[in-house]
Amino acid sequence: MKTYFIIIFLLSAISIVNAQKKAKTVKVAGKAEIRIEDAYCIGEIKQRVIDLAKIDALEKTFGKVIVQGTNTYIENINTGEKAATNTQMNVIANSMVRGEFVEENVTKLEWFLRDRENPTGMKQELWILCEIEGKAREMKEADVAFEAKTMNCINPGSCNTEVYHNNERVYLNFQTPVNGYLSVYMQDNEDGIIYRLFPYSKMSGDYESAVPVQADLNYILFSEQHHKTLFPDVSRSILDPISAYTTKEQLFNRIFVVFSPDPYNKPLLDVNHAAGGIKTMDTEKFHQWLNKNKARNTNFQTSNIDIIIKK
């Protein structure tokens, strides 16, 4: 009987610890609108207004982040009061926010015309409106400060870029302070699907879902020259080189760098024979997979890199 009670006590203690680790989620809603400029491409403007709507939702719920010198403050939007903080921050569209979405639903994304007075009379301008709702959690625990940068050559620091031209090679420089698991996806706004860029399409076994990476090692992904050093037990023939390409004047894509110190399972993927065997999936299902993992595990992190490809 005593053993029975001890087991019950241990299970209860484990449940309490897990509940404390899992951040509480709250319902959030936000909206944003942007005037269309000639320089924007459709994919870019849609993603930008969605990001701004997310920022609006998170700031209304968790407060606005203000950085003054070396100090960071959280401002209550309703009262204007400021409080110093060392809370972990998230970055969306180059803006620091205090929370992150774990479930999102774009309820409205539409174009509209707005009259604007100018010296020659009234002029109509094209705007885009986004309204979003979902669930988010406040960020409190310190995350793993990994670094990820896109490049068009294999020399870190000398060719970092987020703008590519047709047929330029795409490389990713990645470093982490702790051991963990890495995968890389790209949302292609020209064909509306998600490509999994890493693990490479023919990786299997321990590399099937995410690739184990070592702390402090400088990874150059998609590079034939670095592959043997980084993955000595994996044939170089499985490497998937990535080249930028578009049939449009300008294309906006988003790269998702996914990292966790803990192992995680990949989403359900299809083999895209038209793209040389690279694995792909539906955009909506991909974001559902991301959000479910974020909700389950605060160590599951994503870093977004927006790239532009010019014809």
Positive or negative: CA dihedral 265, 280, 43, 308: positive
Report domain extents, the chain: 25-138, 147-310
Please give the average per-residue pLDDT across 272-290, as a whole number: 88
For 268, the 3-state DSSP assignment is: coil
Beta pairing, strands 90-92 & 82-84: unpaired
Burial of 199 (0-12, 13-18, 19+ CB in 10 A): buried
Q: State what percent of residues in the chain have pLDDT above 90.
A: 42
When comparing pLDDT for 13 and 102, which is higher?
102
In contact, 161 and 171? CB cutoff 8 Å: no
Q: Which helix (H) or strand (E) holds 256?
A: strand 250-260
Report how far residue 79's alpha carbon sits from residue 91's, in angstroms, rounded to the nearest whole number.
24
When comparing pLDDT for 221 and 188, which is higher?
221
**Residue 93 has what pLDDT?**
58
Structure tokens at 211: 């690739």
**In DSSP terms, which residues pair with 164 in a beta bridge?**
309
Positive or negative: CA dihedral 260, 265, 269, 275: positive
Structure tokens at 279: 């694995």
Q: For domain 147-310, which CATH number applies: 1.10.287, 1.10.3470, 3.40.50, 2.60.40? A: 2.60.40
**Residue 80 has what pLDDT?**
57
Please give the average per-residue pLDDT across 231-250, as a whole number: 88
**Residue 143 has what pLDDT?**
67
Within the chain, what is the greatest distance between any pair of CA atoms? 89
Please give the average per-residue pLDDT across 273-302, as a whole number: 87
- pTM, two decimal places: 0.71
Structure tokens at 284: 């909506």
pLDDT in tens, 58-115: 888 888 765 444 444 455 555 555 544 444 545 565 666 778 888 889 999 999 998 8
